[in-house]
Structure 1
Amino acid sequence: MTTDNATAVPAVSARDTPPATSLALDHLSWSVGGAVIVDDITMHVTEGEFVALIGPNGAGKTSLFNLVSGLTRPTAGTVTLSGVDITRHAPHKRARLGMGRTFQTSSVFADLTVGANVGLAVQARTGESRRFWKRAGADGGPETAAALELVRLSHRADAMAGDLSHGDKRKLELALLLARRPRLILLDEPMAGVGAGEIGELTTVIRDVHREQGCTVLMVEHHMEVLLDMADRLAVMHHGALLAFTDPDSAMADPAVQAAYLGDGA
């Protein structure tokens, strides 16, 4: 029972709860022979956020991706995935915790069908390929079908992966990641080498993957029109350091960003 002058405590709604941090980089640095490649990066990405990483060539974007994915060990600082310190984890351990990555060059099994490629990824996650009666590369059933539908490759399930266009190979790589059920996806220049006629659909596929799966996306890309349309925030790198980390409009209006990336306020 409350008295008349008691102060009511407002209920806490889900709206009041701050979003969880998906990826936290704290004072992350990497030096080689005295040269600083990645310089004291601190960046917290929230769960489900789409962050675009931009900067001129040589800014350190791919080097930062290598630190996040475990291909390179940092000189200093930490990498945390959903609250777990993974700074010293090998890439395969990070994958088990829900991190997936694509690279600038396509990597699929050219001599297998599109469906078999995704089926292998499903088996790798479930462990079914270890069963001696289970044929490696089997189609993976409903999970394969769902992944191919999301990336708009259902009609190419029986095609050889090596026969796909470059844009469709990029879609297949996304399907391979989805088969592993990632919580965080790192996309390293997914539009590299993709023909102009395929960029629009690939952009739509990436947007659909982000929205429908609810995963966190960190993407390096040079097509600014693609990034500005999809990103919640831009992380701008210059000379290995983080120059800005804010919404696209604020980032593009920043004089320091304009000078470093766009060219003296152009």
Structure 2
Amino acid sequence: MSAIDEETPSLGKSQARPEPKGMVRVFLKYLRPPIGEFHAVCLFVFVGVVASTNVDTLSVAVAHGLAIALLVAVYGGISGGHVNPAVTFGVVIGGRCEVFIGLLYIIFQLLGGVFGAALARMVLTVGYTSTGNVTNVDLYEAIGGGVPQLAEGVTAWNGVFVEAILTFILVLTVLMTAVDQQLSIAPLCIGFAVLVDIIVGGSITGAAMNPARSFGPALVAGIWTNEWIYWIGPILGALFAGGSYRVFLAKSEYRILFKDKSE
């Protein structure tokens, strides 16, 4: 079933059930799913910012990958477990989510990112007690608020290109494993996509692939350096992934070209 055929754009398989009526229908379609996205993104950004206290890319990648797999599994039956405005945009472009619901998702995802970053700041702004000549270290300031940044020597447009490719991999993984094939292992596949992307691009751009992951920490920390990169790159990647899915890769009933009734 597609997202537009369900009361919520679930990424998993659904069972036939009676059509809800009245306020119950409004709640199930327009309120419960966005709230689920708010929760999921809040937790994801919190984990991501706190994980930034690790110095090695692999640890950060594993934390993000496992977190997204867990959150997609938990919230998949409520909202589809997008946990990312770029994923929502790609699913909308792919024709598997209503535009209005997609807009609701993005608003709640960005709010969730802000709350998650604020929680992380509250936890990390503790500092170390100074003894002798040891200087106090504020963990939150030490990681720059967990805001993704370009590595030294990486140009802005190279950053956009890297973020676009990484997001393309992530969004296409969501579309093909969770939306199109509705695989039970889709959360694991999505987690691996995030894991691989961060291992590949974490040392270059921070591998955000998620405007909520960059916007929330940037707003809370007041650090806006190159923030536009972490919007333009993921949007372009999601656009190409959603477009490729819609035109060429989707099942026949959702594909634009070369429809085959025998599929």
Name the structure with the higher helix share: 2
- After TM superposition, the score normalised by the length of structure 1 is 0.25
Name the structure with the higher strand share: 1
The higher radius of gyration belongs to 1
- After TM superposition, the score normalised by the length of structure 2 is 0.25
